[in-house]
Amino acid sequence: MIPIVSSYRINERTMILIPVYHADYHTMVKETNRTLYVRKTPLEIIESGCIHGFSTYEGRRKAIMFLTGYQRKVPIPILPTKHIFAFPTLSPENYDCHWLFPIHIETFAHVRKTKKVGKSKAVFKNGEEVFLQESVEVLEKQMQRTAYCALRMVQEGIVKSFV
């Protein structure tokens, strides 16, 4: 029996939010030590995470757009004081958008494309792998944008250094 929950709170163990087409749940959440199925969409979980971080998704998005100039697929500081950042693989309004949490990513790798697998895979520090439709180059760019976002927050004194 799979664990289905009505809501989910993003935390230090959250690795990825995967959209799922299912009648009973909309998101598969992979944490470092477990997998959960949530009745909310990935974007709803991200929005809720921002609220728990004393802001709104739209507020965080606008701030990052202003500080970085990014207009699309904007990385979001969910809980910046805990160094929890996430980036979307597609437009967040696209139901197929995954949200990745870079602190847990070891690398991205190319895979031979098939209909079932995709173009790439994210390899997490705990050894888990998730196949994605986006290219390694797109995912690496999103990682770099998220790192720049975190750096800007350190420069502005919003969060403490990561080291």
pLDDT in tens, 109-123: 999 866 667 799 999
Structural domain includes residue 160: no
Structural domain includes residue 126: yes
Instruction: Give the three-class secondary structure for 57.
Output: helix
Structural domain includes residue 45: yes
**Are 117 and 111 in contact, with CB atoms under 8 Å apart?**
yes
Instruction: State the average pLDDT over residues 125-145.
Output: 97
Check pLDDT > 90 for residue 162. no
35 φ, ψ (degrees, to nearest 5): -125, 135
**Are 57 and 65 in contact, with CB atoms under 8 Å apart?**
no
Structural domain includes residue 162: no
Residue 161: per-residue pLDDT: 76
CA 7 from centre of chain = 17
Structural domain includes residue 161: no
Check pLDDT > 70 for residue 38. yes
20 phi-psi bin (left φ>0, alpha ψ -120 to 50, beta other): beta
Strands 4-5 and 35-38: parallel
What is the pTM (predicted TM-score) of this model?
Answer: 0.94
Check pLDDT > 80 for residue 69. yes
Instruction: State the average pLDDT over residues 77-105.
Output: 97
- Where in the sequence is the domain holding 127, given as residue range(s)? 4-155
Count of domains forming the chain: 1
Confidence of residue 163 (pLDDT cuts 50, 70, 90): low
Give the whole-angstrom CA distance, residue 70 versus residue 100.
18
Residue 117: per-residue pLDDT: 72
